[in-house]
Chains A and B, each alone.
Chain A
Amino acid sequence: MEVSRHWRLRQQRYALVGEVCPHCQVKIFPPRDICPDCGQEARTAYQFNGRGEVFSFTTVLDPPAGHEENAPYTVALIRLEEGPMVTAQLTDLGEQPVEIGMPVEMVTRKLREDGERGMLVYGYKFRPLLTPA
């Protein structure tokens, strides 16, 4: 069931809350309290703006257990505007072909559900950046 795991990650899954290093200003996601760049303590919360671009991507045809209902789906590495990279699914693609460098933005979507009576797990996915018409 992993209730505590999903609860623990809610700030990251729903709001992309990471950290900023007070010593070297580098932005950190996921939060880890120790700056991966300078090695000093970094506990200052920082909310990412959710925009980024596709660094790489692939389509999963043979999903791991628990992800069967979404297959096929596209998984990508997203370089966030503030610097860090995240692994996430792309969504709302329509007919649009995915390309490296494509601008995307974070949205909240269902990641998986654990059976009919299980939990619904929500979190971040990324869609093509909406531009005003």
Chain B
Amino acid sequence: MREVAILGAGLVPVEEHWERSLVDLAGEAVRLALEDSGLERVDSLILSNMLAAATGVAQLNLGAQVADWCGLRGIEAFKVEAACGSGGSAFRAGLIAVGSGHVDLALVVGVEKMSQTTGPATTAGLATAADADYEAAHGPSFVALNALIMRRYQHEYGWQHADFAPFSINAHANAARNPFARLRHPITEKEYARARMICDPINLLDSSPIGDGAAAVVLAPASQFRGEGRRPRVIVAGSGAATDSIAIHDRRQPTWLTAAERSSRQAYAQAGLGPEQIDFFELHDAFSIMAALSLEACGFAERGQGPRWGLEGFILPTGRLPISTHGGLKARGHPVGATGVYQVAEVARQLWGEAGPNQVPRAGIGMAQNIGGSGATILTHILRAG
């Protein structure tokens, strides 16, 4: 495998883009990423999306459609799907394509259009990330599945609901400074405690919002780009992918993200470093419980002690391990199939020193983790400047 660098990125603000189609959103992210990379063409377009087949968009063959829309007719293009882990999976596919030498320039674009359908239809669409016959058939929403994990976690380790507040408060505070974020307003502990209940113990401010969005990055062989340009070179230092059972009820440890542990270990080993060398972490905080579980499985917090990292302030922009530096899924927003690409682009922005008011003081090595389903598919990527 040859070393792979991220040349550029393009982000569309996460919103309810009522007036814009899925291809239109994807097209803007592609155009911005090409412009940012100083390129006009790439060899391969890898698209990530979750819901276009399951909900009202009803469009497949998105790779060819988006490539043509962007003026790239003729190139290789295809979609990668792994529920909310689609973006991270597509990024890894791009990494392998360029790393192997089969492709020189790959563009990875994640896109999701969630405002096309009404609430119950979107809720049903999101539940397709779970086992259709043995989970979804019994009526849990995707929030409910996370609530089952959170209640059990609180039961096993004794945490109160309020102990998870710092994750959401930090995410909103960071999103307030990010022009691409969906929820650009800070929240207080009192607002968190009083938010509307969705699926006890998960309330509205434990949950990420739906949204429309698209994000893209361009990958190229690192040896051809030595970083003599306007920005430091960003290298993909480690990549890991792992799975667990799709259904929570089939897991040996329902309160432990086994696939996060496996994929982060692979990424650490490949990058030749450990969790203590990670400067900041874009984790998959679709629900506050997932932030805690991710910190534990990746070797930062002790087992059952994830909430402590919020309570001690370690996760703040000035803390030991800033997380969700652009607002995270919680407040940047969670356009599900695009999220993994937003995360990687945000890590790259930090490493380039281009994160503006979201810039963290120490940004040499950053990690992104993208989760598909309630923990079934987990991708971990470590990027470094150099």
Chain A nearest CB from B37 CB (Å) reads 40
The residue of chain B having its C-beta at the shortest distance from the C-beta of A88 within the complex is B138
> Do A58 and B120 have beta carbons less than 8 Å apart?
no
Bound form: Cα–Cα A1–B355 in Å: 49
* Per-position 1/0 for A62-105, Cβ under 8 A of B: 11111110100101110000001111110000000000100000
B133 at the interface (CB under 8 A from A): yes
B373 to chain A, nearest CB (A): 13
Residues of A within 8 Å of B, CB-based: how many? 34
Q: Which residues of B contact A128 (CB under 8 A)?
A: none
Most-contacted residue by chain A among B121, B151, B202, B254 (CB, 10 A): B151
What's the dominant secondary structure at chain B's contact region? Answer: helix
Which of B140, B197, B198 meets A87, CB within 8 Å? B140
Cβ distance A111 to chain B, nearest Cβ, rounded Å = 6
Q: Is B50 an interface residue (CB 8 A)?
A: no
Per-position contact with A for B262-302: 1 when CB-CB < 8 Å, else 0? 00000000000000000000000000000000000000000
User: Judging by beta carbons under 8 Å apart, are A65 and B121 in contact?
Assistant: yes
Q: Known contacts A56-B151, A123-B137; is A87 also within 8 Å of B123 by CB?
A: no
Please, how many angstroms separate the alpha-carbon atoms of A31 and B124 in the complex? 25
Q: Mark A1-13, 1 if CB is under 8 A from B, else 0.
A: 0000100010000
Establish whether residues A100 and B249, one from each chain, have CB atoms under 8 Å apart when the complex forms: no
Q: Are B139 and A64 in contact (CB under 8 A)?
A: yes
**Contact count band on B:** 35 or more
B193-223 vs A, CB cutoff 8 Å, 1 = contact: the mask equals 0000111111000000000000000000000
Is the CB–CB distance between B133 and A62 below 8 Å?
no
Q: Please name all residues of chain B whose beta carbon is closer than 8 Å to the beta carbon of A61 when the two chains form the complex.
A: 197-199
B149 and A73: CB pair below 8 A? Answer: no
Which of A62, A64, A73, A112 is packed against the most chain B CB atoms within 10 Å? A64
The answer to whether the Cβ of A60 comes within 8 Å of any Cβ in the partner chain is yes
User: Any chain A CB within 8 A of the CB of B135?
Assistant: yes
The reply to whether the CB of A46 lies closer than 8 angstroms to some CB of chain B is no
Shortest Cβ distance from A121 into B: residue: B137
> Once bound together, how far apart are the Cα atoms of A62 and B135, in whole Å?
16
Q: Contact at A58–B139, with CB atoms within 8 Å? A: no
A62 touches B151 (CB 8 A): no
A75 touches B148 (CB 8 A): yes
> Could you list 14 A-B pairs, sorted by A, with CB under 8 Å?
A9-B133, A56-B254, A58-B140, A60-B141, A62-B123, A63-B141, A68-B120, A75-B140, A75-B144, A76-B148, A77-B148, A77-B254, A84-B250, A100-B151
The 10 A-B pairs at the shortest CB distance, nearest first, are namely: A58-B147, A64-B124, A56-B152, A85-B249, A65-B120, A65-B124, A67-B139, A64-B123, A56-B148, A75-B140
Given A63-B139, A89-B139, A123-B137, 4 further pairs, Cβ under 8 A: A65-B123, A66-B124, A87-B135, A121-B137
